[in-house]
Amino acid sequence: MEREADVIIVGAGLSGLVAARKVVTAGKTPLILEADERTGGRILTEFPYKDIPLEIGAQWIGDTHYRMQALAKELGVGTFPQFETGDTSYDFGDQGVLREEEFYRLNAAELAKWKEVLATVDVLAAEIDPSQPWNAPHAAEWDRITAGAWLDEQGMGPIGRTMFDICSVGILAVPTEEVSLLHMLYNIAVCGVGAELFAESEGGAQTIRFVGGTSEIPKRLTEELSQYIELNAPVQLIEYTNDSVKVSCRGGLVAKGRQVIVALAPTLAGRIMYDPPLPAVRDQLTQRIPQASAMKAYAVYDEPFWRADGLNGQLISDKGPARMSNDSCIADAETGVILAFLEGEQARTFGRWPQEQRREAIIAELTRHFGPKAAKPEFYVDGEWASRQWTRGCYNANLGTFGWTHFGDALSAPIGPIKWAATETANEWSAYMEGAVEAGERAANEALEAM
């Protein structure tokens, strides 16, 4: 089978969908080739129990995610605030489970030092232009060490250091030892809200949710663009000249166009065969930018019982399996939903366990924090991304030592008619949905300008 379009788009994640929409608006024809049987990419709302939307993938937007706020409004998708009233529950070392005030009282010096390091991080990150982190004055120095090695030198105690790691892994979904210091600083700079992003509040990146689930966004875009989307079309080969592309899929579909936007995480973009082959620097980059390791586990209860106890559903702990959780109820719901995060090493270790065993360990942990009512959820489910063939890891991609300085300039630089989208290529809020929108629009503009 053969199809033609002006702009072929590989991947129907948020970035690809937004790019296609922009192409349509400009009066040109897009064609999205999606490997999976669904659109949405790393956005995936499921309703496995009592019609409660559970976000297996991307869940929140933040106060400064203006593109996403505008897009939701335009698509008619409502929003509601993340529930945050009450105390967070802590469990560190042999201190036992403590409420916020007690935890801060007991560990005042350690936590003050932690906040001091967060402030230092802010000062360093301010040096970085997120569109070219490799040109930061201290780029060479910061890219030759891991963030973890740098943190080891900051004089934090074990609790402060673990607090930093827990907050950082909540963003990067890999240990601080796997990214360069430059990468960690870039991640803060690209969000424009300072190291507050790494503090407990998550810097306003997780304040707003979508009515009906985040999937409402890709779902409505998909309805709008349905004639331009081919599902079950995994791209195997991109042949190209200066002004033409031919994209071949498993199953036989061949799409011809003038430009192509690859809206995949870079590591997945690196699996496609290109003819002529891509330059060395681009290929070596995609060998070095792995998707991170994250799992989300949901426990559903007949009511959000923790709220009556003055708890906000958040736990922060140096134990596990989950080192963080939060209240993931929908607005005005009677049902109670706790979301437990397994990120980085936690996702890798417990991701190998049988689900039943993992469930038990997570429920035991929730019970420790939120009391005996937590022991008997009505429903449990967890979702893992590294085993999903067309995603292979969440939330995002990270670069280790020398990644940015030796290869970073190849991340979004077009190659002939090939433009790169996906949130990893964004200059604002990369790794978030906001970045996916920015990158999709930028790549569409590049393709349109080239025609």
Which one, 175 or 213, has the nearer CB to its own copies?
A: 175
Buried b / exposed e along 110-127 (16+ C-beta atoms within 10 A): bbebbeebbeebbebbee
**By CB under 8 A, residue 146 contacts its own copies:** yes
What is the nearest approach in angstroms of its own copies to the Cβ of residue 267?
Answer: 5
End-to-end CA gap in the chain? 25
What is the nearest approach in angstroms of its own copies to the Cβ of residue 340?
Answer: 19
22-26 own/partner pairs: CB under 8 Å, 24+ apart: 22/440, 22/441, 22/444, 22/445, 22/448, 23/444, 23/447, 23/448, 24/225, 24/228, 26/444, 26/448
Which one, 313 or 403, has the nearer CB to its own copies?
A: 403
Distance, in Å, from the CA atom of 139 to the CA atom of 124, rounded to the nearest integer, reads 10
Which one, 109 or 280, has the nearer CB to its own copies?
A: 280
Q: Kindly tell me which residue out of 270, 336, 435, 440 binds its own copies, with binding defined by CB under 8 A.
A: 270
Q: Kindly tell me which residue out of 102, 127, 345, 360 binds its own copies, with binding defined by CB under 8 A.
A: 345
**By CB under 8 A, residue 145 contacts its own copies:** yes
Query: 21 to 50, contacts with its own copies by CB under 8 A?
Result: none
Distance, in Å, from the CA atom of 77 to the CA atom of 71, rounded to the nearest integer, reads 8
Q: Could you give the angle at the alpha carbon of 301 between the alpha carbons of 358 and 371, nearest 5°?
A: 75
Stretch that binds its own copies, among 57-65, 119-127, 232-240, 363-371 (CB under 8 A): 232-240
What is the nearest approach in angstroms of its own copies to the Cβ of residue 136?
Answer: 17
Which one, 50 or 250, has the nearer CB to its own copies?
A: 250
**By CB under 8 A, residue 288 contacts its own copies:** yes
Q: Is residue 305 a contact partner of residue 370, using CB atoms and an 8 Å limit?
A: yes
Ordered DSSP codes for 170-187: HHHSS-GGGSBHHHHHHH
Stretch that binds its own copies, among 154-162, 276-284, 302-310, 423-431 (CB under 8 A): 276-284
Q: Compute and round to an integer the Cα radius of gyration of the chain.
A: 22
**By CB under 8 A, residue 392 contacts its own copies:** yes
Compute the CA torsion angle 21, 22, 26, 29 (nearest 10 deg): -50
Neighbours of 227 (CB within 10 A): 9
**By CB under 8 A, residue 175 contacts its own copies:** yes
Q: Is 121 helix (H, G, I), strand (E, B) or coil?
A: helix
Query: What is the residue type of 355?
Result: Q
**By CB under 8 A, residue 231 contacts its own copies:** no
**By CB under 8 A, residue 252 contacts its own copies:** no
Which one, 155 or 279, has the nearer CB to its own copies?
A: 279
**By CB under 8 A, residue 408 contacts its own copies:** no
Which one, 35 or 316, has the nearer CB to its own copies?
A: 35
Q: Is residue 344 a contact partner of residue 147, using CB atoms and an 8 Å limit?
A: no
Query: What is the residue type of 175?
Result: P
**By CB under 8 A, residue 138 contacts its own copies:** no
Size of site (CB under 8 A) for its own copies: 42
Binding positions for its own copies, rule: CB under 8 A? 144-146, 148-149, 175, 177-178, 234, 236-237, 250, 267, 270-271, 273, 277, 279-281, 283-284, 287-288, 290-291, 293, 345, 348, 351-352, 384, 386-387, 389, 392-393, 400-402, 406-407
